[in-house]
Amino acid sequence: MRDFLPSDVRKREYVIGIIKEVYESYGFEPLETPAVENIETLTGKYGEEGNQLIFKILKRGEKLDANAGENDLADLALRYDLTVPLARVVANHKNDLPRFFKRYQIQPVWRADRPARGRFREFYQCDVDAIGSSSMIVEAELCAAVSEILTRLGFNDFIIKLNHRRVLTEILVAAGIPAERDIDALIAIDKLDKIGREGVEKELLERGVPAENAKRLIDFIVSILLPKGSNTYSKILRASVSFNEANEINLKKMSDFISTNGFERSGLNELKDVLKYDEEGNYNNDKILIDPTLARGLSYYTGAIFEIALTDGDFAGSLGGGGRYDGLIGMFGKEQIPACGFSLGLERILVVMEERGMFQKLVDEGKLKLDSADVLVTAWNEETIGESLKLAGELRRENLRVLIYPEADKLAKQFKYAGQINVPFVCVLGETELAENKVTLKNMQTGEQELVSREYIASKIKAPAL
């Protein structure tokens, strides 16, 4: 787990600020839940592997019987994600919440995972969920909000892959994959980019999928306009096929493939609704791409699923994803309540922004400030410190962030400190300056110094060029 020093926190808060602003503009409201949940709330929700990764909290005082066996040692646990706490809140506070509840939640979660690049044991999730409606308006708005966030952060190569859990099942059934081989088939298909058609075919056979069905599935997958993997998306762009056209082609192929077995097509219709609302609302410009190979790990999804990918090729993972889960809330209350959400991975977004130099660009554009303060006021000697404090107060009332050198010291040392902390301006208030009721203002970037009347200092600092 990590400490975040000031410039780290400032970058995180910039990103979180944009995320909040956009979610608020879509009418999502903030929710916060405690870090600690009752252990029963969490266990059994994330599969066996997830269970192992939950941090459990030791019982306290008399409750703790060290001889009671491993399962009786803990009564509480650290939050593992933000979706299960949301489901619990919706069930617990049903009467305090509106019929349609749109909430966002940006808080840390904890997993006892082996740390890796971009994977930490404490990390933030930025979740947004709409509770209470089955309409695809929800999906369209979620995609629009996420798309707006990424655009405002400066990403221009992201796409939102869209698929549907029921459609995925229908495709596998249409290919004749036995239900118990579903997961094997998805894992094999996922490797198409890496091991090629023959490799996947071989793997499907090894995993027990009959040759004929394996061929049917692969034939279908390669006929789709986008095989999985970020490199290949560019093929579409190069071929001057817009996402709209690609989506139409893919939906047609999916529909044909499924309908050969006579399946009902409500899943496909939902996908079409999402695209229709998105287009009619002018929400996204060619950002959503139907990808029938997208599966998403979590088992609680029941409808549309999405995942964000970057196509420039420097980052293979996903920046976030989500989907519809109409069954989860019913596990905590008496009532089944439809729900759909999107989760952004803050840590990954930060990693990519750092590596792509996007923060530096924001700093250069003046949109992000990483320096510790706008100005340092020197402390000349014991007698003039009061005047330095007074000047600091004046500048703060002008909405400047003002540091005061915290003890009377040699001026050279104070300038050296200003250089170390990278503050853009220094105000020197010595006896000469005080006698004239002026301040020597030093621009630390240019090295220029000038004697400035007190009433003009703030404006000189705010707009040095004037």
Rule CB under 8 A: which of 416-455 touch its own copies?
Answer: 417, 420-421
Backbone angles phi, psi at 119, to 5 degrees: -125, 125
Can residue 91 be called a binding residue for its own copies (CB under 8 A)?
no
Judged by CB under 8 A, the residue of 17, 47, 64, 208 near its own copies is 64
Q: What angle do CA 266, 272, 274 make, to 5 degrees?
A: 105
Return the number of the residue (235 or 401) whose C-beta is nearest its own copies.
Answer: 401
Residue from 320, 270, 378, 307 nearest 118 by CA: 320
The site for its own copies, by CB under 8 A, has a size of: 96
Minimum CB–partner distance for residue 402 and its own copies (Å): 6
For residue 439, the number of C-alpha atoms closer than 13 Å in the C-beta half-sphere is 30
Can residue 367 be called a binding residue for its own copies (CB under 8 A)?
no
User: Rule CB under 8 A: which of 260-299 touch its own copies?
Assistant: 276-277, 279-283
Return the number of the residue (352 or 385) whose C-beta is nearest its own copies.
Answer: 385
For residue 336, the number of C-alpha atoms closer than 13 Å in the C-beta half-sphere is 5
Judged by CB under 8 A, the residue of 393, 431, 448, 449 near its own copies is 393
Minimum CB–partner distance for residue 396 and its own copies (Å): 5
Q: Interacting stretch for its own copies, rule CB under 8 A, among 187-195, 350-358, 388-396, 444-452?
A: 388-396
Return the number of the residue (64 or 183) whose C-beta is nearest its own copies.
Answer: 64
> What is the Cα–Cα distance from 373 to 418, expressed in whole angstroms?
10
Can residue 52 be called a binding residue for its own copies (CB under 8 A)?
yes
Q: Which two tokens stand for residue 21?
A: 């602003």
Can residue 48 be called a binding residue for its own copies (CB under 8 A)?
no
Would you give the distance in Å from CA 392 to the centre of its chain? 38
Return the number of the residue (5 or 116) whose C-beta is nearest its own copies.
Answer: 5
Burial readout 279-310 (b: 16 or more C-beta within 10 A, e: otherwise): beeebbeebbbbbbbbbbebebbbbbbbbbbb
Q: Interacting stretch for its own copies, rule CB under 8 A, among 6-14, 198-206, 230-238, 329-337?
A: 6-14
Can residue 331 be called a binding residue for its own copies (CB under 8 A)?
no
**Cβ distance 385 to 393 under 8 Å?**
no
DSSP string covering 194-220: HHHHHHHHHHHHHTT--HHHHHHHHHH
Return the number of the residue (252 or 397) whose C-beta is nearest its own copies.
Answer: 397
Can residue 97 be called a binding residue for its own copies (CB under 8 A)?
yes
Minimum CB–partner distance for residue 421 and its own copies (Å): 5
User: Rule CB under 8 A: which of 112-141 touch its own copies?
Assistant: 112, 121-122, 130, 132-135, 137-138, 140-141
> What is the Cα–Cα distance from 346 to 222, expressed in whole angstroms?
33
Return the number of the residue (88 or 164) whose C-beta is nearest its own copies.
Answer: 88
**Cβ distance 247 to 164 under 8 Å?**
no
**Contacts within 8 Å (CB) and 24+ apart, 72-75:** 74/39, 75/38, 75/39
Can residue 40 be called a binding residue for its own copies (CB under 8 A)?
no
Can residue 380 be called a binding residue for its own copies (CB under 8 A)?
no
Minimum CB–partner distance for residue 45 and its own copies (Å): 18
Judged by CB under 8 A, the residue of 146, 385, 439, 461 near its own copies is 385
Minimum CB–partner distance for residue 122 and its own copies (Å): 5
Can residue 160 be called a binding residue for its own copies (CB under 8 A)?
no
Judged by CB under 8 A, the residue of 15, 18, 76, 225 near its own copies is 76
Return the number of the residue (140 or 305) whose C-beta is nearest its own copies.
Answer: 140
Which helix (H) or strand (E) segment is 126 a member of? strand 122-131
> Strand 425-428 vs strand 438-443: parallel, antiparallel, or unpaired?
antiparallel
List the alpha helices (DSSP H) in 99-240.
137-153, 165-175, 182-189, 192-206, 211-223, 230-238
